[in-house]
Structure 1
Amino acid sequence: MYLNYFGLKDNPFSIAPNPAYLYMSPRHKEALAHLTFGLRESGGFVMLTGEVGTGKTTVSRKLLQQLPDNTQVAMILNPTLSALELLATICDELGIEVGERQESLKHYTDAILKKLAENHEKGTNTVLIVDEAQHLLPEVLEQLRLLTNLETNREKLLKVVLIGQPELQQLLKRNELRQLAQRITARYHLLPLTETEVGSYMAHRLEVAGGDRSVFNSSAIAAVFRITGGIPRVINLLCDRALTLSFTIQAPVVRKHVLLAAAKQILGDDVVAQRRSRRFDYLLAGLFVVAIAAGYGLGGLYA
């Protein structure tokens, strides 16, 4: 709706995990480096965690682009499966034909292990990526660990990437999963963007879409961080709505009052008021500290 009005060739704030729009903040670069390093190691598992909307799935899409050509990838997007269903899904992803009358854990496991051995003989790496892995049942995670038992003298024949919310970290602390936890060769927790990074993030996405950061004035950009807390997905939702409202009233740029109106539509009046007042509380606390320091300084002069 607003693309032509603001001179954009694409929607800069779509919530689809498009790697072309991935803003490589220092945290995202570290996350990608950890995943890449972990897949090169001899262990079977690497793990990426983070709060909802911090960009975990987008980082995984970037990882897929960087995998060598001799890599076969199985992607699990719905992990709320039983152990049998998980193995059946892996077979589907790897193109393994399994007879319908032989549905058992052993049959699926044998078929997958055979495929892993065949890929290794052909020089093909096999990678399994599980998104929303915090929903995996302990017995299903244990089944994944058993799949990584097939190995050469140098490496595992199956590498597993677990991507999930912070609850995944707690899940892996369970006593029955300690063997799996010990096989994680790289792990990284993705944090929200800082205030400086939020402005750079918005500028990056606007530039990829053919625009520039001048679409938002400086006070609006500052308000984006205060309201979203640096969560990329929330930033996208807020900025997209703010652009729509600005187009509706034919404003040349997105200003702070329009952004706040968009935030109230997306998050609600109470959430916006709470997040704006929290910054005011921080300001008062900062002024209080400064006042105390100044008081001690003046007291020292009189002493």
Structure 2
Amino acid sequence: MYLNYFGLNDNPFSIAPNPDYLYMSPRHKEALAHLTFGLRESGGFVMLTGEVGTGKTTVSRKLLQQLPDNTQVAMILNPTLSALELLATVCDELGLAYNSDKASLKYFTDLILSKLAENHQAGINTVLMVDEAQHLLPEVLEQLRLLTNLETNREKLLKVVLIGQPELQQLLKRNELRQLAQRITARYHLLPLTAPEVSAYIAHRLSVAEGDISIFSKSTLRAVHQITGGIPRVINLLCDRALTLSFTKQHAVVQKPIFLAAAEQILGEDVVSQRVQSQRKWYLVSAFFVAVVCGYGVGSLYV
């Protein structure tokens, strides 16, 4: 709708995972480095956590791109499975044929362990990536741990990447999962973008679509960080709506009032009002402390 008006050749804020728009902030790069290091270690698990929309999928996709060619990856995208269902899914992902009539934990485990040994002999690394891992049942996580028992003198034959929301951290603190927690060789919690990173993120996406960050005023960019909390997915939603509103009102630059109106349409007036008020309180508190410090400094001259 607004592409031609703003001189864009594509929608810069689509929430569809388009690799052309991949933006790796310093913290995304740090997360990737932690996971990459962890997979090179001898342990069986690495873990990435973060709130919804912080970019865990971005990091995991980049991780997959960087894995060596001699790597077979099994993906679990629906973790609400029983232990038996999970093992069957792993077999499917590894291309293993099986007899459903013989289905049992031991039957599937033996098939998978045999495949891991076969891959190792052929010089192939095996990685299992589990998304939304906070939904895994404790008994399913324990079954994953048992799969990582197969090892050489140097390393585990299966490396598991757990990706999930912060609840995953709490789940792994349970006493019955302490053995699994001890096998995590790298863990990283992905935080939201900072204010400068939000501006860089928006500039990057606009640049890919042959646009320029100047279509957002500086006060709008500050408001984007304030209202979205630095969550990339929310940034995309609100910036897309703000561009649409600016187009309908024939504004060449997205101003702060337009952005706040867009935010209210998507998040609701109460949420936006609450975040604006909290930011104002923060400014007032900061100004108070600055005044106190300055006053103390001036007063000390007369002591």
TM-score by length of 2: 0.97
Q: Which residue of 2 aligns with 1:201?
A: 201
Q: Which residue of 1 aligns with 2:230?
A: 230
What is the identity percentage for the equivalent residue pairs of Structure 1 and Structure 2? Answer: 79
Contact 1:119 1:125 in 2 (8 A): yes
Shift of 1:115: 1.1
Shift of 1:291: 2.3
- 1:127 equivalent in alignment to 2:99: no
Q: Which residue of 1 aligns with 2:290?
A: 290
- 1:2 equivalent in alignment to 2:2: yes
> Which segment drifts farther, 134-143 or 62-71?
62-71
Pairwise CA RMSD: 1.2
- 1:266 equivalent in alignment to 2:263: no
Take 1:153 and 1:302, find their aligned partners in 2: how far apart are those partners?
72
SS at match of 1:193: coil
Q: Which residue of 1 aligns with 2:160?
A: 160
> Which segment drifts farther, 51-60 or 250-259?
250-259
Shift of 1:294: 3.1
Shift of 1:277: 1.0
Letter in 2 for 1:63: L
Q: Which residue of 1 aligns with 2:74?
A: 74
Contact 1:18 1:58 in 2 (8 A): no
Q: Which residue of 2 aligns with 1:58?
A: 58
Q: Which residue of 2 aligns with 1:35?
A: 35
Shift of 1:70: 1.2
SS at match of 1:15: coil
Shift of 1:299: 3.0
SS at match of 2:129: strand
Take 1:163 and 1:145, find their aligned partners in 2: how far apart are those partners?
15
Shift of 1:276: 0.8
Take 1:189 and 1:179, find their aligned partners in 2: how far apart are those partners?
21
Q: Which runs of 5+ in 1 are unaligned?
A: none
Letter in 2 for 1:115: K
Contact 1:49 1:56 in 2 (8 A): yes
Take 2:121 and 2:9, find their aligned partners in 1: how far apart are those partners?
46
Q: Which residue of 1 aligns with 2:136?
A: 136
> Which segment drifts farther, 205-214 or 154-163?
205-214
Aligned pairs, number: 303
Shift of 1:284: 1.0
Distance 1:18 1:63, change over 3 A: farther
Q: Which runs of 5+ in 2 are unaligned?
A: none
SS at match of 1:28: helix
Letter in 1 for 2:127: V
Shift of 1:239: 0.6
Shift of 1:296: 2.3
Take 2:215 and 2:87, find their aligned partners in 1: how far apart are those partners?
49
> Which segment drifts farther, 23-32 or 241-250?
241-250
User: 1:102-136: CA deviations, max 9, x gaps?
Assistant: 11111111111111111111111111100110100
Take 2:122 and 2:10, find their aligned partners in 1: how far apart are those partners?
41
Q: Which residue of 1 aligns with 2:22?
A: 22
Shift of 1:191: 0.5
Shift of 1:69: 1.2
> Which segment drifts farther, 62-71 or 246-255?
246-255
Contact 1:47 1:186 in 2 (8 A): yes
Take 1:41 and 1:218, find their aligned partners in 2: how far apart are those partners?
44
Q: Which residue of 2 aligns with 1:172?
A: 172
Take 1:216 and 1:80, find their aligned partners in 2: how far apart are those partners?
41
TM-score by length of 1: 0.97
Take 2:124 and 2:70, find their aligned partners in 1: how far apart are those partners?
5
Shift of 1:255: 1.3
